[in-house]
Amino acid sequence: MEYLYDKQVEPGELIEVADGVLWLTMPLPFELDHINLYLIRGEGGWVVVDTGIGTSTTKALWEHIFKKLDGPIVGVIVTHLHPDHIGLAGWIADTFNVPFYMSQTEYFTARAFAAGRNGATVDRDVQYYQRAGLDEVMIAKLTSGDGKGYSSVVSPLPISYTRLKQGMVLSLGDNEWNVMIGRGHSPEHACLYNKKKNILISGDHILPIITPNIGAYSTEPDANTLDDYLDTLPQFKALPNDTTVLPAHKLPFIGLHERVDSLMAHHHDHLEALQIACERSQTVVELLPVMFKRKLSSRNMVFAVAECLSHLNYLHSKGIVSRTLNSEGVFEFKASEAKRLS
């Protein structure tokens, strides 16, 4: 893999990575402290691809960026529903009164998350963490709050949108962008490929250096998201290996095929390690050290449990591990003697 730049572009600055394609970053208040965003030249102005988290800091940086551009914003595309991608999408789209593009599942899931619990109890969230084997103190910490965390960092979404679908061609100005849908990190993540420029805007689906979180969360605890991810990764090897990949985090790079292969191998390594660890019955919490070698904060625990469970759900779906509910209401996973990973 070859990285095209030595460091991230500074917030508030723009780098033209190709004719009519601009790269910018916004800060994030997390361990992963930045997100890459892109501007594509469209008809009469610029189309935003992802927006950063919905904070006053990000909004001020966008207002600074708007003044630098040689034309107005003429569209907003969101790759997927996570707050660092969709945070200010509604604000930008409605401020400029421009088309808002998103895949269907992502759009309506974002609308649902923004609405919060609407009076529903947290009992199912509590059960999810109990079945993973977390203690009561940690469960209470992870399930406290009013359920409005998403809407606190995501501006109200436009009440209409243009649907992105697998295989569709999005005409933006003089350029055509092919929509490629990836699943697993989120339900229906949209990536954009421009054949003429040989550029792939990969969002979170394909990242360098780090791996996208593939989780089974409390909203769908039995989800086989890892199977979705491994199923939708190989299609990107049909693109040229020298494609310029513009990811949502870390640096733009060349070496798409190698990165797809390494991501596939990464997850298969985890699956093999979990299968070995499950030679005796194990809970999700007991299996976390198999996948994560560092100490986990409470925030990281949410992602770690979901990621571990997604791998176990994959193994369970293939009959490679069994899952039973013990007398304490905790899932235990045990490797099958008859079936192994191929």
The one-character DSSP state at 239 is S
What was the pLDDT predicted at 340?
82
From CA 332, how far away is CA 291, in angstroms rounded? 17
Which stretches does DSSP call E strand in 125-219? Answer: 162-164, 169-172, 175-182, 189-194, 199-203
What was the pLDDT predicted at 188?
98
Measured CA angle at 221 (ends 86, 84), to 5 deg: 15
What was the pLDDT predicted at 223?
98
Which tokens belong to 87? Answer: 């945070």
User: Cα-flanking dihedrals φ and ψ of residue 280, to 5°?
Assistant: -120, 155
Contact by Cβ (8 Å): 288, 305 = yes
Domains in the chain, please, with CATH? 2-120+148-270 (3.60.15.10)
Which tokens belong to 258? Answer: 């190698």
Which residue has tokens 């591990």?
Answer: 321
What was the pLDDT predicted at 273?
97
What was the pLDDT predicted at 154?
97
Residue 142 in 3-state DSSP? helix
Contact by Cβ (8 Å): 203, 247 = yes
Q: What is the pLDDT along the chain (342 residues), one digit of tens a residue?
A: 999 999 999 999 999 999 999 999 999 998 889 999 999 999 999 999 999 999 999 999 999 999 999 999 999 999 999 999 999 999 999 999 999 999 999 999 999 999 998 889 999 999 999 999 999 999 999 999 877 899 999 999 999 999 999 999 999 989 999 999 999 999 999 999 999 999 999 999 999 999 999 999 999 999 999 999 999 999 999 999 999 999 999 999 999 999 999 999 999 999 999 999 999 999 999 999 999 988 888 889 999 999 999 999 999 999 999 999 999 999 999 999 877 887
What was the pLDDT predicted at 147?
74
From CA 324, how far away is CA 40, in angstroms rounded? 50
Which stretches does DSSP call E strand in the chain? Answer: 2-3, 15-18, 21-27, 34-42, 45-49, 73-77, 100-103, 162-164, 169-172, 175-182, 189-194, 199-203, 244-247, 253-254, 321-325, 331-335
- What average pLDDT is seen over the chain? 96
